């Protein structure tokens, strides 16, 4: 089956799975997912699975990307977003189609560099990249209107709570591998309110950074 046809099937499936936000659907339609993975795996690009992207990491399942993006937009479109876990850059690309500016942080140098090259080739210019430990957020541009984390810590990092604007929301999977809760945490003047969106399975959020390596 042609990749374009598989992309159409993915779009149909997202609608059946309950994704409704027109701008989210438009962004998922506009970004070719197969450009974010190894060409040898192109035929799996549009399936409803996570896939390996090198360095023991994975690109998230299309439904989860759409679900997390929708969750960020429930109070309108935030002007900027901090993303922790650039990975291959697929979620970053979807966000960049919707939001004025994206700040994205990745702890593995090879992944950061490749994602940047891909996103620049797609003509997406409203993204700032940072190679560093996302446990600490990215203080230089804080506070953020929204924060999305695509790897799971065992507890919500306090730096991320601190770097969230009042009225902003943080979407984050929390817990051990295989039993994580996807949380939406909203900051108000009086504190933080938490709600459970789903149960998910992400790779762990890990501390520190990994420099350039030859092996991918
Ligand atoms: N949204 C990405 C998901 C990649 S998997 C995609 O669709 O491709 C999660 C990513 O989070 C991995 O690339 C991993 O290296 C990164 N990560 C894990 N811990 C991190 C940390 N402390 N800071 C920044 N990135 C981190």
Question: What are the boundaries of each domain within the chain?
Answer: 50-200
CA torsion angle 193 197 198 203 (round to 10)? -70
pLDDT value of residue 11: 98
**From the CB of 45, is ligand 1 less than 6 Å away?**
no
Q: What pLDDT, in 10s, does the model give residues 54-108? A: 989 999 999 999 999 999 999 899 999 999 999 999 999 999 999 999 999 999 9
Asked if residue 216 has pLDDT above 80, the reply is no
| pLDDT at site 179 | 85
Contact 21 CB / ligand 1 (< 6 Å): no
The minimum-distance atom of ligand 1 relative to the CA of 92 is 1
pLDDT, one tens digit per residue, over 153-187 is 999 999 999 999 999 999 999 999 878 999 999 99
**pLDDT at residue number 26:** 98
Sheet-wide strand order for 164-174: 127-131, 101-106, 80-84, 144-149, 164-174, 180-188, 191-200
Task: Tell me what the pLDDT averaged over the chain comes to.
Answer: 96
What does the block give as tokens for 76? 């309108």
Q: How many Å apart are CA 145 and CA 21, to the nearest integer?
A: 19
What confidence score (pLDDT) does residue 106 get? 98
Q: Which CATH number fits domain 50-200: 3.20.20.105, 3.40.50.150, 3.40.1190.10, 3.30.1490.120?
A: 3.40.50.150
Atom of ligand 1 nearest to the CA of 153: 19
pLDDT at 177: 83
Dump pLDDT digits (tens) for 183-214: 999 999 999 999 999 999 999 999 999 999 87
**Best probe residue, ligand 1, of 106, 115, 201 (max atoms within 8 Å of C-beta):** 106
- Confirm or reject: Cβ of 90 under 6 Å from ligand 1: yes
pLDDT the model gives residue 215: 60
- What counts of helices (H) and strands (E) characterise the chain? 6, 9
Q: Which two tokens stand for residue 149?
A: 């984390």
Catalytic residue among 42, 43, 60, 190: 60
**Which atom of ligand 1 has the smallest separation from the CA of 36?**
8
pLDDT at position 8 over 70: yes
Q: What are the residue ranges of helices labelled H in the chain?
A: 3-16, 22-30, 62-72, 90-98, 109-121, 158-162
Q: Give residue 77 CA to ligand 1 midpoint distance, Å.
A: 23
Q: Whose CA is nearest to atom 7 of ligand 1?
A: 59
Residue 153 pLDDT:
98
The arithmetic mean of pLDDT across residues 114-123, rounded, is 98
């Amino acid at each position: 089956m042609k990749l374009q046809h598989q992309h159409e099937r993915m779009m149909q499936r997202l609608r059946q799975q309950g994704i409704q936000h027109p701008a989210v659907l438009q962004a998922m339609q506009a970004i070719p997912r197969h450009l974010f993975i190894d060409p040898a795996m192109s035929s799996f690009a549009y399936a409803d699975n996570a896939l390996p992207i090198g360095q023991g990491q994975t690109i998230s399942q299309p439904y989860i990307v759409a679900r997390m993006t929708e969750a960020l937009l429930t109070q309108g479109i935030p002007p900027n977003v901090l993303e922790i876990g650039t990975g291959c850059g697929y979620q970053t690309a979807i966000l960049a189609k919707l939001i004025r500016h994206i700040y994205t942080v990745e702890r593995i140098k090879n992944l950061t560099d490749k994602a940047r090259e891909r996103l620049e080739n797609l003509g997406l210019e409203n993204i700032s990249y940072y190679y560093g430990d996302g446990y600490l957020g990215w203080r230089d541009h804080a506070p953020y209107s929204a924060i999305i984390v695509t790897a799971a810590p065992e507890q919500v990092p306090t730096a991320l709570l601190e770097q969230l604007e009042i009225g902003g929301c943080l979407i984050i999977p929390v817990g051990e591998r295989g039993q994580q809760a996807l949380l939406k945490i909203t900051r108000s003047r009086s504190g933080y309110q938490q709600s459970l969106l789903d149960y998910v399975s992400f790779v762990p959020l890990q501390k520190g950074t990994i420099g350039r390596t030859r092996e991918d």
